[in-house]
Chains A and B, each alone.
Chain A
Amino acid sequence: MKTRNFFPWMVIATLFAGGAAVRAQEAAPAASATSTVPVTTSSPLAANAYEMGLVQREDRLFVDEGLEFVRQAVKADPQFALGHAALGYFTVDPKEAKDESALALKFIANAAPDEQLLIHWMNDTKNGDTVEAISAMNDLLAKYPTDKRLGNMAAEWLCANQGAYEHGEAILVRLLKYDPRYYPAMNNLAYCYALSGQPQLAPPLMEQYVAALPNEPNPQDSYGEIMRMLGDYPAALGHYQSALKINPHFNASQVGVASTYALMGDETRARAQYLVAIRGTKERSTQVGYRILWAMTYYRENKPRLAREAFEKVDVEAHLAGLTVQEAEIHRALALFNPDPAGALKDLDEARADLSQSGKSNLLPGDRDNELALILQARAFIAVNAGKTDAAQATEKLLENMAQSSRSTPVQQAYHSANGAVLLAQGDYAGAIAELQEDPYNPLSLQLLSEAQTKAGQAADARKTLETLAAISDERVETAVAAPAARLALKHDAAHPVQGGAN
């Protein structure tokens, strides 16, 4: 994508950008003279690359290509504050995120006042300064109500990161009222509905999205994803394949095909498709992410030795690329799949070592803390399942200390769920239920929640939790570990119905 001719993309930019004009400004810009947040750079090349980055990433959902354009923008103007902030906000490479956020603040005086607000929003969301981020976001939305890209990004953050669906949906509905043809908002609204427990509202939006942009791959890709979330794998595959017919290089759909096969249990085909996806991206962190999914297929088909070998190979790749969080994630995955508790705890020691060896200098504190919290959570769960309540309690104390000083949702959820696991082991079922309910999206927590509800005599609630868990259909390690057992348990219950106490 990087080598594509620039000119045709400018035409696409006009189509998608919703009026966000590209502008390079040599002097101080006139703040908010237009309907979009100003973009200040002394380099026309940087301004164009930045705009193209947003077109690709935000509007067309060519995520890696968009990121690359933003990298080109800051290369063209190393003092381009908003460019650095956007790169720090978009990248999944923790080191890049940390470095770029710092550069954004270093050069923030170059930016117009409202642009500075946008930079603060991007940085604050990354740093966990959520109140400040919300304040900046709302001020910008009030000042630029017709900046569609701004609204779309804000809504995406609210829905995807904050679980504030009602707020995200309100912004998207308003954007679509203003411009019914602003398709990125339509796309996000479908996901917001799907995630907020209104999945029936998503497919009609997807139908509109697909019909409106028949030559774009993302609408088909999104539709595929929604159908996969709904558990309709054949429909999902059909949409992903339609996206790839439109653009064979739309790698997200390639991964979509692979993961759908993986969820369907066709691991051989899934692996082959993952390899195509890995070849289709030059982004190292993305490659390693796909490699992790590829390695997981061996666990899915119950080949633990091959799986461990595959994960170890990916670990070497991640290490060479300096991807510390991914290294830790690999060891955490190995632990979660490890049937031997002692071995699993050793895997988690390795995961912690990954973070402590190079993490201090390379990572944003938030990224390090989030992964560390997940490692400790896994340790607590594994210890509880192995009957090592003291070890679980010691780990829970570490998480409690982290939670005292962190506003991060993953840290908070990890602490509460680990505490719930310990309470479950101690026989305090009511306490366990309350704590485990604080981590409602983690399949491992749902597994323990169902157990706690059963032991508390809440059979109907336990079954509902089990059904929730069984219906989760995604690529996460936690899902691969916990969801199949839930599905088996439900099947068993259906074959051997028993009378249970209803709640």
Chain B
Amino acid sequence: MRNRLLIVGVLILSVASVAFGTDYAIVVNPANPLRALNLAELGKIFRAKTTIWPDGKGITLVLRDQNSPGTKFILEKVLGGTFDEEKAVLSDPGRKSAVPVVFAESDEEVMRIVGANAGAIGVIDVYNITGGVKVVKIDDKQPFDPGYVLKGR
């Protein structure tokens, strides 16, 4: 009988393989006073055009590995081009001293790095969020808000 919610809600079997997207969350260290960014500001961080936070701390970008579906999606959304056009932004040797990019093997590792580094900003699947990081609104919306821009398909 487990359970009525399941039964009444979603019953598409065998014929359909249901693919779900997820919302991606932009997270920072809880000590970071930042509450919101717009997509253009986030793009500047990704392109290493913005290199420090208002309090002077250097920014570190923490992402899952470059070929993960999430990172591909985020790059395209944030930078506006195709993944192939934009991926060079992350590996540009010139940005190493500006906004270094750290690639993590899991969302847990992203959160561990962001939680330990006051200047870090990371991207994770919203379902992995813990109290160890702070979610930043993008264009004044957080994950699950209507029209949230980092909603995956």
Contact = CB atoms under 8 A, between A and B. Distances in A.
A326 interface: no
A412 interface: yes
Given A139-B130, A441-B11, A468 B16 contact: yes
Nearest to B135: A131
B93 interface: no
Contacts of A313: none
Contacts of A199: 13-14
A476 B5 CA distance: 12
A146 interface: no
Given A131-B129, A164-B22, A407-B144, A475 B8 contact: yes
A404 B146 CA distance: 6
A403 B146 CA distance: 6
Given A160-B3, A160-B5, A187-B2, A131 B130 contact: no
B8 to A, nearest CB: 6
Contacts of A470: 15
Instruction: Select the residue from B4, B8, B146 with max chain A CB neighbours within 10 A.
Output: B146
B146 A63 contact: no
Interface residues of A, number: 61
B144 A197 contact: no
B88 interface: no
Contacts of A230: 13-14
A165 B6 CA distance: 12
Contacts of B15: 464, 467-468, 470-471
Contacts of B11: 195, 229, 441, 472-474
Interface string A20-64: 000000000000000000000000000000000000000001010
Contacts of A472: 11-12
A134 B146 contact: no
B131 A135 contact: yes
Interface stretch (A217-225, A264-272, A273-281, A359-367): A217-225
B54 interface: no
Interface residues on B, range: 20 to 34
Nearest to A472: B11
A161 B5 contact: yes
Contacts, number: 132
B70 to A, nearest CB: 13
B7 A475 contact: yes
A199 B142 CA distance: 33
Given A164-B20, A164-B22, A165-B20, A194 B13 contact: yes
Contacts of A197: 12-13, 16-18
Nearest to A400: B146
B121 to A, nearest CB: 17
B143 interface: yes
A428 to B, nearest CB: 20
Contacts of A63: 1, 3-4
B6 A191 contact: yes
Nearest to B111: A138
B138 interface: no
B78 interface: no
B2 A468 contact: no
Contacts of A221: 1
Contacts of A92: 4
Interface in B1-54: 1-18, 20, 22, 25
Contacts of A158: 127
B126 A441 contact: no
B140 interface: no
A406 B13 contact: no
Nearest to B153: A437
Contacts of B7: 225, 474-475
Instruction: Select the residue from B8, B17, B144 with max chain A CB neighbours within 10 A.
Output: B144
A252 B14 CA distance: 24
Contacts of A406: 146
B128 interface: yes
Given A166-B20, A404-B147, A468-B15, 19 more contacts: A63-B4, A130-B143, A130-B144, A135-B130, A142-B130, A160-B10, A188-B2, A188-B3, A191-B2, A195-B12, A199-B13, A221-B1, A222-B2, A230-B14, A231-B14, A253-B1, A403-B146, A468-B12, A468-B16
The 10 tightest CB contacts between A and B, nearest first, are: A197-B17, A252-B1, A160-B5, A468-B16, A61-B1, A441-B10, A138-B130, A474-B11, A471-B15, A160-B6
6 contacts: A61-B2, A63-B4, A164-B127, A167-B128, A229-B13, A403-B146
Interface of A: 61, 63, 92, 128, 130-131, 134-136, 138-139, 142, 156, 158-167, 184, 187-188, 191, 194-197, 199, 218, 221-222, 225, 229-231, 250, 252-253, 256, 403-407, 412, 440-441, 464, 467-468, 470-476
